[in-house]
Amino acid sequence: MGTELGAFLRSRRERLAPEDAGLPATGRRRTPGLRREELALLAGISATWLTYLEQGRDVRPSGQVLDALARALRLSGAEREHLHRLAGGGATPGESVGEEAAPEVAGVPALLGENPAYVTGLCYDVLACNAAAEELFRGIGRGGNVVRWLFTEAAAREVLVDWEQEARGVLARLRAIAGRHPGHPRVTRLVAELTEASPEVREWWPHYDIQFSHAGHKRLRHPRLGVITVPHAAFHVAERPEQTLVVYHLVTP
């Protein structure tokens, strides 16, 4: 918990300019963002306590302290939730090993016909998908991994018209998963693999962007239909909330 929480707090402190936090500008600074003393003042906590948190010491901040830090740092709703999860210690490292979707869940994508659909696990491993998803997201079939495909396969940059936007979003969701499961071996291995393979991951991962699954629209290049805008939604499996059913509504002319 400590090192991840400390790194997250530092990243958010360093991105917030004093004037954005309502503090007077004091000329040129050696480091970006707020100083620890300034953030502590804004949050109403001691600078020593904040130092302990950022250094990853074994201290347990209260909910009130976390909320005060979230307000002072101007965190979004997703970032605030991530902060509380980090402070709570996250899930245990050994869970979800050998992950599979239950047969009833794995069979759902096939029921959706021409609408691309797949089920992912904790680390975005593809646990089940239908033929429409395999056609659209070339090379992402069962046994693949959405994040690995997105950052290492040339097909991803062709299929996803707004590749950078989508890639940043998926990486931010992976960062949120890493915060909920600190030290999880499969998460750690995936991040290490992506960091080695992708210059974008090496640049973006330290930013600590946080995002959670949501519905929306994507511009995709379909092999038969050309460039189309497709609505999509994500549904978490009730008994296994880290497993997600993703459905794209493929509206044909």
Residues 6+ apart with CB under 8 A from 165: none
At which residue do the structure tokens 């991803």 appear?
156
Topology of the domain covering 103-248: Beta-Lactamase (3.30.450)
**Which pLDDT value is given to residue 94?**
43
Categorize the per-residue pLDDT at 252 as very low, low, confident or very high, splitting at 50, 70 and 90.
Answer: low
* pTM confidence score: 0.73
pLDDT band at 170 (very low <50, low <70, confident <90, very high): very high
What is the share, in percent, of the chain residues with pLDDT greater than 70? 92
| Token pair in block for residue 96 | 């979800």
pLDDT value of residue 26: 65
Task: Give mean pLDDT, residues 174-188.
Answer: 88
State how far Cα 165 lies from the chain centre. Answer: 13
Is pLDDT larger for residue 99 or for residue 12? 12
Residue ranges per structural domain of the chain: 2-88, 103-248
Q: How far is CA 37 from CA 16, 68, 253, in A?
A: 14, 14, 59
Residue with tokens 């002072």: 72
CATH 3.40.190.10 fits 2-88, yes or no: no
User: Do residues 253 and 128 make contact, with C-beta atoms less than 8 angstroms apart?
Assistant: no
- Rounded to whole angstroms, the Cα distance separating 49 from 59 reads 9
